[in-house]
Structure 1
């Protein structure tokens, strides 16, 4: 009798790190994962504030959802910062969901992630949950669920263009957080920026630490309005902006509050019903059995 070998997804290449004073630096790209002096303050300055996330979280209707896309998961600090602000601003909104979608070509190991995030004990209640669910370093899509389904992290390990082509979503905000364009040009290519645009709607915002002219021109060519802002620390300038409201991109036609009928109350049907109900979507589950 022939033996069928179970195929496993191929492992991805992990990051190559150099540690200096507890701060990880990419040996491959010659860049740090976060500011050596205050990475948390840097994240709030570069990504949270320019995207007006706290204000937008607070005004989000319930039920409702907010989607953040990120080009470079790195240490997970930006995800944890957004999650922490989400918890604070939506504490009384039961049926709101934060979906964070991030892409990483060279992920950290679980142990490296723990070591990097240990610098912020105030984030420990969240970082402990992240590291406990952190997936094996395998190419492809990994989905992590927190807060009883109210916070969902989709991690794609592999080439960003492959991930952007595979995952259907529209982001409300973007963290363009790859390493320096000079050392990591593939993550800032025109094709990547155009893919970011196709996953955006008119009014979708973005923010990035870089102010390189080539990146600014690529964003403008893709239809984003771009403005320069003061950078963090010694960084003089950064970029932020939004996709223009006249961008030729169709908006989703199905509202999250539309009722959904599910035929069949088997494992798939009941899991789908629960998933939708946790998002505040009215569900009618139909099955021939009592």
Structure 2
């Protein structure tokens, strides 16, 4: 696979009402009608199984070939009439996504209930997994990538499969034995498969992988099509949580609470000290590099998910290079994106249109969360979960998420979370329209002021440093070319990991790991204890997607992050790296 931030967009010609792929030399659907074809071939067999889903249960479908999203929209239509506690997890994989304007034009021809939600959240062609909420109980995981790569890194257990790629004779990359094996390994007992094709090699391949495939009458003039099932009796999955306490009311804690609220659970939130989140404006921008390594793709996907967050303001960013090497680096990054996303100026600076800022207070107000004001000083396991000792009270919980940033009393030394003091200031400005990024970041004018951020030093004091204040003012004045009036200073302690990536996932059982010392034993976890911490200065960008991933995993839903990204953020990663495992 060629390394790239982006997938190539689909090239579509229209033959009347029928879209035609110039790359695959094939139509997207039958001339009799798109909705009729999708309904008969895919949705009806899916619902024959999904109709058994009861309140509190979930159903997971994976589609190979998103196209124009018709299968997803039709499945969501069928689910709309079910109890709101029934969850539909849609997954769709597409390597050549259609452009947003083309998708919108197509979907608006149909009277789907969720068209607006799909169009609003449909992403640019950033490679990787994207979260789209069609309703609070209907989540689409849209994966833009090659199908083999996507399936190899998909963390999900499937109840049904839609094989809706182009014809096997024109898209051999999708129809092959290793793909069917990947499907089977991710299928629950009794899971179903539907496809329009009746090709013999597809039927034989599904059977060889472990499915039981059979021919069925086809759609319209097509004589036959295939359906299949994995062995065993299918039963819907139910995994409800009733008792969750989040320690920490910074961005990680708040976004964990948001994810739980979508699943009709109100967690207890206990504030655990002052975090950097209280700064009035927090920059939201992807961390990018010349090579689209996994950590940078993760950052770009996290930014994309932030665009629909409460409290987010989309403004764009002007990125000023400080020296020749940085000019070269920015140019090489910019060259990988279309001008609609990122473009270079003649002076070597870059305009990044995909950026903005977050108001923590506005986020918190919109979510309307109750927060207990207490400092948790100690926690210990009990027969029923966890006991948390606070300065004001004692609490008990079955599940605990430590979203604390830096907290030396609660975080185990194995995580190696370090305290980094940070400082920002507010200055009076007039009409700064975008974020300006150089050695400091100047946020857009809001209520007559801009936040200038930030400084970094290894101390855990919350005292403002006058030298840091002066440095921030001097840099901002040089960038804006004007004298600025200092209004207020803000300080906070960032929790930072050794590799500057967040720590997200279940707490490892360090004693068992020390005895076994094998990577496979990373699955040995402490029951009911989870980390969502160490976001450093990038919590406003990374916390929401990471929190959604953690909460989805608790409910045994498809993970928001792929397996590579989960390993990258795993609380056990330093243990294995230090032992070359």
Q: 1:225 to 1:280 in 2, by over 3 A?
A: farther
Q: 1:254 to 1:96 in 2, by over 3 A?
A: closer
Gaps of 5+ in 2: 273-372, 375-581
Give the aligned partner of residue 31 of structure 2. Answer: 36
Give the aligned partner of residue 122 of structure 2. Answer: 134
Q: Equivalent residue of 1:84, what SS? A: helix
Q: 1:204 to 1:283 in 2, by over 3 A?
A: farther
Distance 2:67 2:256 in 1: 31
Give the aligned partner of residue 63 of structure 2. Answer: 70
Q: Equivalent residue of 1:216, what SS? A: helix
Q: 1:160 aligns with which of 131, 147, 165?
A: 147
Report matched runs for 1:193-272 at 5 Å: 193-245=180-232, 255-257=239-241, 259-272=243-256
Structure 1 position 137, deviation (Å): 1.2
Give the aligned partner of residue 107 of structure 2. Answer: 117
- Root mean square deviation of aligned Cα: 2.4
Give the aligned partner of residue 21 of structure 1. Answer: 16
Q: Equivalent residue of 1:67, what SS? A: strand
Contact 1:57 1:86 in 2 (8 A): no
Structure 1 position 223, deviation (Å): 0.9
Contact 1:257 1:282 in 2 (8 A): no
Structure 1 position 204, deviation (Å): 0.8
Contact 1:22 1:116 in 2 (8 A): no
The yes-or-no answer on 1:60 pairing with 2:60 is no
Distance 1:261 1:189 in 2: 46
Q: 1:218 to 1:256 in 2, by over 3 A?
A: farther
Gaps of 5+ in 1: 1-8
Q: 1:12 to 1:145 in 2, by over 3 A?
A: same
Contact 1:101 1:154 in 2 (8 A): yes
Q: TM-score, normalised by structure 2?
A: 0.44
Distance 2:151 2:65 in 1: 12
Structure 1 position 279, deviation (Å): 2.1
CA offsets, 1:240-263, max 9 Å, x none?
12101199xxx9999334644444
Distance 2:245 2:205 in 1: 43
Give the aligned partner of residue 86 of structure 1. Answer: 79
Higher relative contact order (CA closer than 8 Å, sequence separation 6+): 1
Q: Which has the larger radius of gyration?
A: 2
Distance 1:243 1:58 in 2: 18
Q: 1:278 to 1:42 in 2, by over 3 A?
A: same
| Number of positions where the alignment pairs a residue of Structure 1 with one of Structure 2 | 271
Give the aligned partner of residue 97 of structure 2. Answer: 107
Q: 1:145 aligns with which of 133, 136, 140?
A: 133
Structure 1 position 95, deviation (Å): 1.8
Distance 1:246 1:39 in 2: 32
Structure 1 position 224, deviation (Å): 0.7
Distance 1:275 1:200 in 2: 26
Distance 1:28 1:216 in 2: 26
Give the aligned partner of residue 5 of structure 1. Answer: none
The yes-or-no answer on 1:49 pairing with 2:44 is yes
Contact 1:260 1:283 in 2 (8 A): yes
